[in-house]
Structure 1
């Protein structure tokens, strides 16, 4: 798929790589990727569904991923709020006042942040594989890693298989391109889950492209550090969100099990939830990107109707 407009836009001192597809005069959909993933994590098939449905679509590389600026996190730490500011800079760089916002995983939390703190920029909101932006997953992870039973009053931790993979990955070398690709490909295999088939070739292309595009592939791990910052802005009530909201979540998500998506839907009074049987925490299954693209398209089309009624 050929982008109609690929360019860098400024966000403060950073340069963010962006790609725009479709008619620049059409309604805009901004896609916000998750932790440690560049914009190409949004599959071309998903983008095509949205463009064919009459939208322009913009995806971009977060700071510390792809062709965007890499940051010295120790000297210049940042938070999800800063990453949300980057998303606004992308809209500004393309001259877009308001857009349909769709985010996956950490991108879903960033999308929530925008809907809460900059509601005038958000036409509709779609959060995929995400939980409430103000929920701290740290305690559940700590209990799980210590072999303790989950807290029944908290959202569930990742699956045992995913936690076991983290232990195994910690011992995997990633000093060469081949080692990096092998380690990350296995992570995506585990995140895909065991129900839907895993599109290994698509995942491999993504991992290889992400490595080749970045000046420092290890910088993407800074997103994990940023995501741990539970700042006051993340604790703002989601009940204030007015944009039509869709929550998409898989039944087999090993990183954020289904109750995370359900909790998010419950905190946004008007939210609609779409549960996808067998889906894990990834887009790498044949046919899945187009299915999600069509679901987002239906939501954005309905959202436009509500805004004009």
Structure 2
């Protein structure tokens, strides 16, 4: 069941799975993605392995607070503070944090600046952002920008973006159902698709990847067309003691064929 929590003066919508007495797993999805992008069946599978699972809408996604278009007025460190505030609201001392894509930056801030709240970090399809890392695959299509006044065009745009990142693991009906539900429950879908890229991308106050002291796992597909595998290898190399799990054939998103491997790793944290 979804609930709205007052966190840092804003509203955060979150949903939990499992027994609150079990170790907590906090799932943070990437840019523009609401909590729906962590499939409810995946959350249920993690909870069945003895974990209390939390998925939530970050600012400007889903039912959480939306900001004026192209004027988000927040930084990545604020998104990290929201994660801490949500744990406070749920009465959780620390959680195993799992972050996808852009939210690897949020997880880094949590691990460096709020280590007492983090039991472990798992970086999925993310990057250090270092210069010299390869850009997206030249085979990635250039989709442009949709007409946000045309809901059908926006729906088609997001479905095709999912397909482009899927590296062959694409289910049209599932992708379209996700997008339709996401659009219906989001306060301002144009802001959701835009504002994360307009926020201030700050970093930890107290160091960087090399200063992480919590256990770190990196999971990355070797067919990721958006952030090719060297990005995941760079995260591993930047964190002392980090372990990299390469998911053969996986694209940028955590598609269903890889859920078991993902759940096995998260449940072992």
The yes-or-no answer on 1:291 pairing with 2:269 is no
Task: Give the Cα–Cα distance (whole angstroms) in 1 for the partners of residues 203 and 109 of structure 2.
Answer: 11
- Please name the residue that 2:138 is paired with: 160
2:230 counterpart (252, 256, 259): 259
**Which stretches in structure 1 are left out of the alignment for 5+ residues?**
137-152, 301-309
Q: Secondary structure at the match of 1:15?
A: strand
Q: CA deviation at 1:218?
A: 0.5
Task: Give the Cα–Cα distance (whole angstroms) in 2 for the partners of residues 187 and 253 of structure 1.
Answer: 13
Q: Secondary structure at the match of 1:246?
A: strand
1:241 counterpart (209, 212, 216): 212
C-alpha contact (below 8 Å) 2:159/2:175 kept by paired residues: yes
- Aligned pairs for 1:112-127 (under 5 A) are 112-127=108-123
TM-score by length of 2: 0.93
- Please name the residue that 2:52 is paired with: 56
- Please name the residue that 2:86 is paired with: 90
C-alpha contact (below 8 Å) 2:113/2:206 kept by paired residues: no
**Which stretches in structure 2 are left out of the alignment for 5+ residues?**
none
Task: Give the Cα–Cα distance (whole angstroms) in 2 for the partners of residues 34 and 178 of structure 1.
Answer: 23
- Please name the residue that 2:43 is paired with: 47
- Please name the residue that 2:173 is paired with: 201
Task: Give the Cα–Cα distance (whole angstroms) in 2 for the partners of residues 255 and 234 of structure 1.
Answer: 28
Task: Give the Cα–Cα distance (whole angstroms) in 1 for the partners of residues 51 and 203 of structure 2.
Answer: 34
Q: CA deviation at 1:289?
A: 2.6
Q: Secondary structure at the match of 1:161?
A: coil
C-alpha contact (below 8 Å) 1:250/1:275 kept by paired residues: yes
- Please name the residue that 2:241 is paired with: 270
Task: Give the Cα–Cα distance (whole angstroms) in 2 for the partners of residues 235 and 223 of structure 1.
Answer: 23
- Please name the residue that 1:169 is paired with: 144
Q: After alignment, is 105-114 or 92-101 more displaced?
A: 105-114
Q: CA deviation at 1:174?
A: 3.5
C-alpha contact (below 8 Å) 1:158/1:254 kept by paired residues: yes
- Please name the residue that 2:66 is paired with: 70
2:191 counterpart (219, 239, 242): 219
1:184 counterpart (158, 168, 172): 158
Task: Give the Cα–Cα distance (whole angstroms) in 1 for the partners of residues 14 and 81 of structure 2.
Answer: 15
Q: Secondary structure at the match of 1:101?
A: strand
Q: Secondary structure at the match of 1:223?
A: helix
Structure 1 runs (4+) deviating above 4 angstroms are: 73-76
Task: Give the Cα–Cα distance (whole angstroms) in 2 for the partners of residues 277 and 252 of structure 1.
Answer: 7
TM-score by length of 1: 0.82
Q: How many residues align?
A: 268
Task: Give the Cα–Cα distance (whole angstroms) in 2 for the partners of residues 272 and 244 of structure 1.
Answer: 9
Q: CA deviation at 1:271?
A: 0.5
Q: Secondary structure at the match of 1:29?
A: strand
- Please name the residue that 1:140 is paired with: none
Q: Of Structure 1 and Structure 2, which has the larger fraction of its residues in helix? A: 1
Which structure has the greater CA radius of gyration?
1
Q: Secondary structure at the match of 2:98?
A: strand
Q: CA 1:249/1:187 → structure 2, altered by over 3 Å: closer, same or farther?
A: same
